[in-house]
Structure 1
Amino acid sequence: MNEILTNLALIAQLIDVKQALSIFYCAALIIFLVACTQPNDVVPSAPERPAALDRFGQSRIDEFNYLEDINDIDTQNYLASEQIFSQESFDIWLPLRREISKELNQFLPAAKRDNSVQLGSYYYWREVVSGAQYPIFFRRAVERETIGAASKQIVLDVNELADGHSYYALGDFSVSPDGRWVAFTEDTTGAEHFNLRVREISTGRELSVPTTLVDASLAWLAHNSLYYVVNSLDGSNVMRLNPFSAESYSVYREDDPSFNVDLRLSRDGNFLVLTARNPVSTEILLVDKAGIQKMISPRRIGHHYQVRVAEGHVYILSNLRQPDFEVARFDLKLPDQWSYFETPPGTIKDFEVFADGLVLLIEERFEFSLFFYRASGEASLLLKTPPIESIRLSSNPNLYSNLVRFVRYGPHLSDQTEEIDLITGELRVLELNPKRKIPSRIARLEWYEARDGTQIPMTWLQAPDRKTKMPVLVTVYGAYGISQTQSYQLELQPLLDRDFAVANLYVRGGGELGPRWHEAGRLQLKMNGINDFIDGVDYLAASEAIDPRKIFVRGVSAGAVIVAAALNRRPELFAGVILRYPFLDLVGTLADQSASLTPADILEWGNPSDDADLKYLLSYSPYEQIKSQKYPSVMLTVAKPDSRVSMAESLKWLP
């Protein structure tokens, strides 16, 4: 395989954790886009050690299978050579790195404060103070009129929690019903294995809670009822803990490891909402303070739903009858009697319930609308965005508020929190921090035609003073029904300042156009997304605005499947390729039953133990489809540890 990849100029950066700073990544990105125009034939290579593999009746020789063993001496030597090569490659461009860092620091605020939200008898908010890396969570009593230093209380200082750790991530936190204690989960390794801690807010005193290797999710329902999740390869247990006696026991067992279990409190505070979800179905239980469980709707293939609880009723956002979702309501005492709301066309992306009615967020062809349905049944349009702007519902924990809070965002807009009065319709911008000055950009939505006639959406961003023959960075994801964010990305600003255009392609397999868009690019339709991507790059190459010799593409995690598969098919299209934590060895990963994500991933990609699925996977899997041809330059970043995408996939693909 060394001969195959002789012309693949690689810059591989091994990082200890997945928490790379935007400034570092942006500098590395720009340096790569400059450096990859200068071919380097002297690249690291791993020694070949052919091994015969027999998987699912398929026999083949794999020269680099040993790289799956991180402790192998040849693996260690190869990693060292890649790190040296990477460092030397970036060191050449040190002045440019400093220049980019200076540019980006001008956009970063020295301090930042979020808008407060009311939870019970307190207002809570988050601040990042000058010189700190992590936020501090504060609160003040509702009856306090001022927000001065004397009136606010620290709930959690993440800087203090992170002290002494090379990596730190706060998972979730929940305050006890009496407001005295805070429970939180933390990851100190980057492997997404969390510890649970319980701390008295006023004193910092901690209870002895013997819980490690838990999930991030938790919820405090009653004084002696703290719920958390323990995951294993054969499923999940939801545990009920009395933090004051350290006694715990299982209240729910999920035996299907493809399901992820999430916990939250209902907005009225009376129920634990226990959600079990995998890529093809959902099941939700309500647990009251006495521990009694109520099933909302049993799991069935194809049915996804969410719930809200208010005033003795359950509101459910469901695709049981309508692929783009609809909203129903039922009385907790009459759970089988659903009454449905009549809603406008489009996909219902989210919803929230207030004492006076229901708020719906609806998207249709990249236009977002907020609707309010009053308790009387009357509906009104609160606002509608142009196609290149998006909105998402923000935190609205107060059931009895008449204000709904949301965030307006876009590739050319800094995130802006706003709220609208459900009674008067008055719109107000909530801005606590100095407005970030963003250079003027041209942003637009376009549609191009795929080879089978399907119209594919694409968003486009560029500086206003450049019209033709621009280099372009193209990003794609297209998996799991996840919608790519259209938000402002700081790391791309130096590219735009250097006459690059930036494009996002929303191919089939993602969630941008609703559940049917996801289904059209899942399992044995995955090639639709790959072809959509190739057709989109061809569309850009034919545009007068783009220099076809300077098309760079980027894929992260599952998005790398589409990029790397396209790279194997049409390497001449690309001037350079950026892959972050890439999913590359589909068959090898999906065959690994010891990986926690395998059961859920099989529902998205296919099961290699099935002959038809195996054949289809082998037809596009980036690792199996490497060919003897000239490849463009590639920048690859991997993480150690990474519980989602093994570093071994990238190591095997590189040589």
Structure 2
Amino acid sequence: MSFPNATPSAPIARQAQGSDPYAWLQNRDSDEVLDYLKAENDYQAQQLADQTALRETLFQEIKGRILETDLSLPSPWGPYLYYTRTTEGDEYARHYRCPRPADDSNSIDESQEELLLDPNVLAAGGFFSLGAFSISPDHQRLAYSLDTSGDEVYQLYVKELSSGAVSSLPFEDCDGSMTWANDSNTLFFGELDETHRPHKLYRHRLGDACADLVFNEPDGRFFLHCFRSSSERQLILVLNSKTTSEAWVLDAEHPEQAFVCLAPRSEGHEYFPDHGLLDGVWTWFIRSNQSGINFALYHSPQQASGVPTRDVWQTLVPHDDAVMLEDMSLNARGISLSLREGGLPIIEVRPQGLPAYRVQLPDAAYSLFVQDTLEFESDRIRLRYQSLNRPPQVRQLDLATGDQVVLKETPVLGTFDADAYVSQRLWATAADGTQVPISLVVRRDLVGKATPLYLYGYGAYGESLDPWFSHARLSLLDRGVAFAIAHVRGGGELGEAWYRNGKQEHKHNTFSDFIACAEHLIANGLTSANQLVISGGSAGGLLIGAVLNQRPDLFKAAIAEVPFVDVLNTMLDPDLPLTVTEYDEWGNPQQPEVYERIKSYAPYENVSAQAYPAMLVIAGYNDSRVQYWEAAKWVAKLRTSKTDDNLLLLKTELGAGHGGMSGRYQGLRDVALEYGFIFKVLKLNE
């Protein structure tokens, strides 16, 4: 038995009776399911076996650009500099500290450094993800959490730095967060419910055998998160859904007391507080959307009688219809606002007692954010800056003067010249006339010419895909393949309205925007349908699946990583991890009109008897966000439906989760596999 028009050796997925013939693939850990996934892995390996040498060439090529033994930029805190060091041959960076130099420089003293944590030992060759890495305020202890399977459930540990003794805390189903109170003896941590939602906050005093329940959030739409304020004087507990939030606060000096609500939740009101200084007075700063969807910044002095109620908040930065206030960073001597205007990130600094200014940068399209505010009393902050053709830089910014110094630029070994590549910002016109930005990078000698092109997209949750640099991507660019990002609606690149116009009843805009970007690149002679490869992961995989159903003729190949393609069935099952919390993003299909809306674009439901491009689909067996069976069911249905002989490959990482395999070298091999697939489909000569 074989599939119509499929390679005879392609795995055959059994079709069961019922409305969903491949629902049996959801029987996790059954022999039948595991045998099928392994058969798909074997088939993928067989089909790409002729690329073994090419993949090794790509791996060595990419690895050869990376400085394998390197030191991170040290961060000063109290009496120490904290930093990490990567070593050639090791998958993970080690964590260190050394005494802080008297001249307050960033120079480390290797003779006095302490090894705080070695993930290479802890990983023991298996999957490894470090959750919390939190030094106690007195610098005597390290709290850290580990996920060793990829399911994002963490075990908690505390290490005594003076002796090296490590204690495993006796708690289960932890979300990985660990927040210190100022006594350096009390930890707050979160617990996951059966749907993988952080729903409870516990307080644990070191040495005790148990923990006290501090907060329980029963509403399945809300996630719980605890952190320290910028001032280090307050603990903040934020409960937020996709559309509403509520914050509770606690004096970090008195962890035994109860959290107090800053402003009771009100449907549609999102607010996020922090604590710092304004004109020498301890003040609450609140970023809120109460006066408009792009958020404004409010302030209220700390009150001895309790937290400032919402009616006394005073406007510090008013709402602006054209500028999104995405975040704020507080230092004793200034406020740094993270803004978004015209599709680009902007940092606006408001030094205490001095005029405000915007940080000036060299490129037209870029990624920029506040990486480190350093200590609260610091008069400097660190910015992380990069573009499609410029490696990441850590820039030190003097808050008062605006002066910038590049402290560190990620090295690119071998022959590399940023000016050999051109980064551009293009605009496509969507079906409804909306202008959609595209970020493009191409080798300078190929500017304006039709080249193979790799188009990436996401478009969900208000996330912004700002242009980023990639060592690996140079292997595409140097072979004449251009790279582009479609900044479609559903993302946050052009503010909150851009996000809202690509979700719920407007989700179709995400797909039509992506198609418009592809058509724009083709119409302007930058590529052709026979040279265009598209890619996306998670919710971006939904995007890829949807546009493949709608316009398969527009693309030569597609890569979908941990794709959210079985969206209708997933959203119909409230017992699955995260489903209820996703109602605000996609809608609740228990409602008939929402059911029909999701069904109209869901990739799995809309697979049809037509020719599809070549496809490589990647899944993670332990993925708690997008279950492995979404990709498996989608591929199984495609095999029975599609009318072409193009490659259709499924690779399931049986020991990994949402982020794929852990470890930097394994990550490079995964990239080499994807690039090799692209070169095979495009028939690019080596």
Deviations 1:202-238 (A, max 9, x none): 2221235212320121111123310000110376110
Give 1:172 deviation, angstroms: 0.9
1:592 equivalent in structure 2 = 573
Q: Structure 1 residues 383 and 292 mapped into 2: Cα distance closer, same or farther (>3 Å)?
A: farther
1:501 equivalent in structure 2 = 482
1:260 to 2:223 alignment: yes
Q: 1:652 aligns with which of 633, 640, 643?
A: 633
Equivalent residue runs for 1:544-563 within 5 Å: 544-563=525-544
2:662 equivalent in structure 1 = none
Deviations 1:359-408 (A, max 9, x none): 11222113443322233373233435643123110111311111121011
SS at 2:358's partner residue?
strand
Give 1:504 deviation, angstroms: 0.7
Distance 1:63 1:210 in 2: 43
Give 1:7 deviation, angstroms: 5.0
2:647 equivalent in structure 1 = none
Q: Structure 1 residues 493 and 208 mapped into 2: Cα distance closer, same or farther (>3 Å)?
A: closer
SS at 1:51's partner residue?
coil
Distance 1:528 1:434 in 2: 39
Q: Structure 1 residues 325 and 385 mapped into 2: Cα distance closer, same or farther (>3 Å)?
A: farther
1:270 to 2:233 alignment: yes
The two structures, once aligned, show a CA RMSD in angstroms of 2.1
1:93 equivalent in structure 2 = 51
Q: Check whether the contact 1:459–1:504 (CA below 8 A) recurs between aligned residues.
A: yes
Question: Which amino acid in structure 1 is aligned with residue 284 of structure 2?
Answer: V
Question: Which amino acid in structure 2 is aligned with residue 310 of structure 1?
Answer: G
Equivalent residue runs for 1:128-207 within 5 Å: 128-142=86-100, 147-162=108-123, 164-207=124-167
Give 1:269 deviation, angstroms: 1.8
Distance 1:481 1:47 in 2: 36
Give 1:548 deviation, angstroms: 2.6
Distance 1:495 1:382 in 2: 32
2:435 equivalent in structure 1 = 455
Q: Check whether the contact 2:386–2:468 (CA below 8 A) recurs between aligned residues.
A: yes
Q: Check whether the contact 2:328–2:335 (CA below 8 A) recurs between aligned residues.
A: yes
Question: Which amino acid in structure 2 is aligned with residue 537 of structure 1?
Answer: A
Give 1:250 deviation, angstroms: 0.7
Deviations 1:340-374 (A, max 9, x none): 22467522232211212211122211344332223
1:215 equivalent in structure 2 = 175
1:319 to 2:289 alignment: yes
Q: Structure 1 residues 598 and 361 mapped into 2: Cα distance closer, same or farther (>3 Å)?
A: same
Distance 2:382 2:97 in 1: 19
1:112 to 2:67 alignment: no
Distance 2:268 2:630 in 1: 31
1:370 equivalent in structure 2 = 347
Question: Which amino acid in structure 2 is aligned with residue 262 of structure 1?
Answer: H
Equivalent residue runs for 1:245-256 within 5 Å: 245-256=208-219
Give 1:629 deviation, angstroms: 1.0
Q: Choose between structure 1 and 2: higher strand proportion.
A: 1
SS at 2:425's partner residue?
strand
SS at 2:328's partner residue?
strand
Distance 2:33 2:503 in 1: 34
Structure having greater relative contact order (Cα 8 Å, sep ≥ 6): 1
Q: 2:376 aligns with which of 393, 396, 399?
A: 399
Question: Which amino acid in structure 2 is aligned with residue 260 of structure 1?
Answer: F
Deviations 1:600-628 (A, max 9, x none): 11211111111110011111101110111
Normalised TM-score (structure 1): 0.89
SS at 2:231's partner residue?
coil
Question: Which amino acid in structure 1 is aligned with residue 86 of structure 2?
Answer: V
Distance 1:262 1:474 in 2: 35
Distance 1:78 1:435 in 2: 41
Q: Check whether the contact 2:436–2:488 (CA below 8 A) recurs between aligned residues.
A: yes
Q: Check whether the contact 2:370–2:384 (CA below 8 A) recurs between aligned residues.
A: yes
1:354 to 2:331 alignment: yes
Q: 1:389 aligns with which of 348, 366, 369?
A: 366
SS at 1:62's partner residue?
coil
Q: Check whether the contact 2:334–2:350 (CA below 8 A) recurs between aligned residues.
A: yes
Equivalent residue runs for 1:50-129 within 5 Å: 50-52=16-18, 61-129=19-87
Q: Check whether the contact 2:349–2:357 (CA below 8 A) recurs between aligned residues.
A: yes
Equivalent residue runs for 1:457-496 within 5 Å: 457-466=437-446, 467-496=448-477
Question: Which amino acid in structure 2 is aligned with residue 593 of structure 1?
Answer: P
Distance 2:215 2:451 in 1: 56
Equivalent residue runs for 1:554-573 within 5 Å: 554-573=535-554
SS at 1:110's partner residue?
coil
Distance 2:527 2:399 in 1: 45
Question: Which amino acid in structure 2 is aligned with residue 400 of structure 1?
Answer: E
1:510 to 2:485 alignment: no
1:303 to 2:266 alignment: no
Structure 1 residues not aligned, in runs of 5+: 9-40, 53-60
SS at 2:452's partner residue?
strand
**% same residue:** 26
Question: Which amino acid in structure 2 is aligned with residue 301 of structure 1?
Answer: E
Deviations 1:34-85 (A, max 9, x none): xxxxxxx345242433322xxxxxxxx3222212113444433322321111
Question: Which amino acid in structure 2 is aligned with residue 427 of structure 1?
Answer: Q
2:258 equivalent in structure 1 = 292
SS at 2:519's partner residue?
helix
Q: 1:636 aligns with which of 617, 626, 629?
A: 617
Q: Check whether the contact 1:370–1:384 (CA below 8 A) recurs between aligned residues.
A: no
Q: Check whether the contact 2:71–2:83 (CA below 8 A) recurs between aligned residues.
A: yes
Distance 1:184 1:7 in 2: 52
Q: Structure 1 residues 202 and 485 mapped into 2: Cα distance closer, same or farther (>3 Å)?
A: farther
Q: Check whether the contact 2:173–2:193 (CA below 8 A) recurs between aligned residues.
A: no
Distance 1:114 1:501 in 2: 30
Q: Check whether the contact 2:426–2:438 (CA below 8 A) recurs between aligned residues.
A: yes
- Shifted more, 569-578 versus 287-296: the winner is 287-296
Q: Check whether the contact 1:229–1:239 (CA below 8 A) recurs between aligned residues.
A: yes
Distance 1:368 1:574 in 2: 31
Distance 1:327 1:179 in 2: 33
Question: Which amino acid in structure 2 is aligned with residue 524 of structure 1?
Answer: E
SS at 1:391's partner residue?
strand
Equivalent residue runs for 1:220-259 within 5 Å: 220-221=180-181, 222-233=183-194, 236-259=199-222
Q: Check whether the contact 2:466–2:493 (CA below 8 A) recurs between aligned residues.
A: no
Aligned length: 612
Normalised TM-score (structure 2): 0.85
Q: 1:283 aligns with which of 241, 246, 249?
A: 246
SS at 1:465's partner residue?
helix
Q: Structure 1 residues 243 and 469 mapped into 2: Cα distance closer, same or farther (>3 Å)?
A: same
- Shifted more, 74-83 versus 393-402: the winner is 74-83
- Shifted more, 493-502 versus 260-269: the winner is 260-269
Q: Structure 1 residues 641 and 368 mapped into 2: Cα distance closer, same or farther (>3 Å)?
A: closer
Distance 2:275 2:152 in 1: 30
